[in-house]
């Protein structure tokens, strides 16, 4: 089932995943229109898409996702929404009210606008972090959608993403103004890497400052399975095709799916090394301090910042929950997405790694110069 003639709205269209999805839609689907919604639409992005635009109309919507009138205007006449936009925060640096406003309220406003404006399909980009790991660091190895796990989410980011996901799935089957019904689903990608990943760029910058030695923040045995951004975009396209297909719509609607690929299972720190070793980076053999002492250090840092909270907001660079996430085996299979959505990773690990290394290599001289001048 193709998206021929559809009008697709992509929120967070200028972001890491959003721009990759927009490009994929332009290259593979003869949609009537793609609407790019973001806080600010870069002219450079629009120009870069001209070469693959074909007959598809590109429309920019600049504004705040928390603005109900703006969101409804963006949805008017659309047939499908890819809701990617959110605030990502794993250090609790963002005020909870800001996270809730964008991640939960923004999602709710979009769902309401879809109902009011007769948008038939809604795909929500969730995250593996709505699952965990929990504060006890209980591992999951090659889990699936039926895996039972006591999440006990601590990050405000994780909580808001989980609530937004729940609202999305609960909205499946809601009647539209024209008598049809809304179809929704949610995708839970693993840690996403690839060209444009700001986290990889940040780790590379830290390594440059440390004489080209990457910091080890994860135990080697804490295995996770990152996923390449191109494959996540393919997962979104397959979900859209499935929701549009009358034979699959009710079967996949109201459900969530893990999106991973064949990237080797490795710790977060060792993954950084895998993609940066070709650029001459090494990695610390051991954690900077034993893990137990790391937790104690984080506890005192969190307590100190909490004591100062009435006077000034300080955010520790590392907290216990982030340390738990970095040191817990947490991996999931994509087999249900394969069965239900027809999802198959399009990019092999070798292709994904090569593209990521080439992108990092293109950024390396600029990062070295910036750090030398700072």
Read off the pLDDT of each residue in 149-176 and give the average, rounded to a whole number. 94
Read off the pLDDT of each residue in 274-281 and give the average, rounded to a whole number. 98
122 in any annotated domain: yes
Total Cβ atoms within 10 A of residue 211: 8
Tokens of 187: 């995708």
363 in any annotated domain: no
pLDDT digit string (tens) for 172-186? 999 998 989 999 999
Q: How confident is the model at residue 191 (pLDDT cuts 50, 70, 90)?
A: very high
309 or 8, which is more confident? 8
Q: What is the pLDDT of residue 92?
A: 83
Q: How many helices (H) and strands (E) does the chain have?
A: 14, 13
Indicate if the pLDDT at residue 122 is higher than 90: yes
Q: What is the pLDDT of residue 317?
A: 82
Q: In degrees rounded to 5, what are phi and psi of residue 211?
A: 60, 45
312 in any annotated domain: no
362 in any annotated domain: no
Distance (Å, whole) CA 213 – CA 280:
9
Distance (Å, whole) CA 205 – CA 279:
13
Tokens of 151: 């999440």
116 and 76 Cβ atoms separated by less than 8 Å: no
Read off the pLDDT of each residue in 84-108 and give the average, rounded to a whole number. 93
Q: What is the pLDDT of residue 154?
A: 82
Q: Is-catalytic flag, 191?
A: no
Tokens of 47: 């120009």
pLDDT digit string (tens) for 209-259? 999 999 999 999 999 999 999 999 999 999 999 999 988 998 999 999 999
DSSP helix/strand/coil, 34: strand
Active-site option among 157, 191, 268, 343: 157
319 in any annotated domain: no
184 in any annotated domain: yes
Indicate if the pLDDT at residue 123 is higher than 80: yes
Read off the pLDDT of each residue in 138-160 and give the average, rounded to a whole number. 93
Distance (Å, whole) CA 196 – CA 16:
6
pLDDT digit string (tens) for 12-46? 999 999 999 999 999 988 889 999 999 988 777 77
Tell me how many domains the chain contains: 1
Q: What is the pLDDT of residue 310?
A: 83
pLDDT digit string (tens) for 48-72? 777 777 788 999 999 999 999 999 9
Distance (Å, whole) CA 148 – CA 153:
14
Q: Which domain holds residue 257?
A: 7-196+226-264+331-350
233 in any annotated domain: yes
Q: What is the pLDDT of residue 272?
A: 98
Cis peptide before 222 (omega within 30 of 0): no
Assign residue 128 the CATH number of its domain: 3.40.50.720
Tokens of 331: 């991996």
Tokens of 334: 């994509």
81 in any annotated domain: yes
Distance (Å, whole) CA 151 – CA 123:
23
Indicate if the pLDDT at residue 311 is higher than 90: no
Q: What is the pLDDT of residue 206?
A: 96
Distance (Å, whole) CA 102 – CA 64:
9
Cα end-to-end span (Å), the chain: 52
Mean pLDDT, the chain, as a whole number? 94
């Amino acid at each position: 089932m193709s998206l021929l003639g559809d009008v697709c709205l992509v929120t967070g269209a200028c972001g890491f995943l959003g721009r990759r999805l927009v490009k994929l839609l332009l290259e593979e689907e003869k949609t009537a229109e793609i609407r790019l919604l973001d806080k600010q639409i870069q002219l450079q992005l629009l120009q870069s898409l001209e070469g693959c635009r074909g007959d598809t109309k590109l429309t920019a919507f600049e504004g705040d996702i928390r603005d109900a009138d703006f969101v409804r205007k963006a949805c008017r006449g659309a047939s499908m929404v890819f809701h990617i936009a959110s605030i990502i925060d794993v250090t609790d640096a963002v005020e909870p009210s800001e996270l809730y406003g964008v991640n939960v309220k923004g999602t709710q406003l979009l769902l309401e606008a879809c109902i009011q404006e007769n948008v038939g399909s809604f795909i929500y980009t969730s995250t593996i972090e709505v699952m965990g790991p929990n504060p006890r660091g209980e591992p999951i190895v090659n889990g699936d959608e039926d895996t039972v796990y006591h999440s006990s989410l601590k990050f405000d980011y994780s909580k808001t993403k989980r609530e937004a996901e729940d609202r999305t799935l609960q909205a499946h089957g809601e009647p539209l103004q024209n008598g049809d019904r809304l179809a929704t689903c949610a995708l839970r990608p693993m840690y996403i890497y690839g060209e444009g990943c700001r986290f990889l760029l940040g780790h590379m910058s830290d390594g440059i400052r440390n004489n080209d030695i990457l910091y080890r923040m994860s135990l080697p045995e804490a295995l996770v399975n990152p996923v390449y951004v191109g494959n996540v975009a393919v997962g979104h396209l397959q979900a859209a095709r499935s929701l549009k297909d009358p034979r699959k719509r009710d079967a996949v609607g109201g459900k969530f799916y893990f999106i991973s690929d064949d990237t080797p299972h490795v710790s977060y720190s060792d993954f950084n090394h895998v993609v940066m070793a070709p650029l001459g980076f090494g990695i610390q053999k051991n954690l900077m301090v034993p893990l137990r002492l790391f937790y104690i250090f984080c506890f005192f840092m969190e307590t100190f910042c909490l004591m100062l909270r009435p006077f000034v907001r300080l955010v520790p660079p590392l907290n216990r929950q982030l340390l738990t996430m970095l040191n817990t085996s947490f991996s999931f299979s994509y087999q249900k997405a394969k069965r239900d959505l027809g999802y198959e990773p399009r990019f092999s690990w070798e292709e994904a790694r090569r593209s990521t290394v080439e992108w990092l290599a293109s950024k390396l001289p600029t990062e070295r110069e910036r750090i030398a001048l700072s």
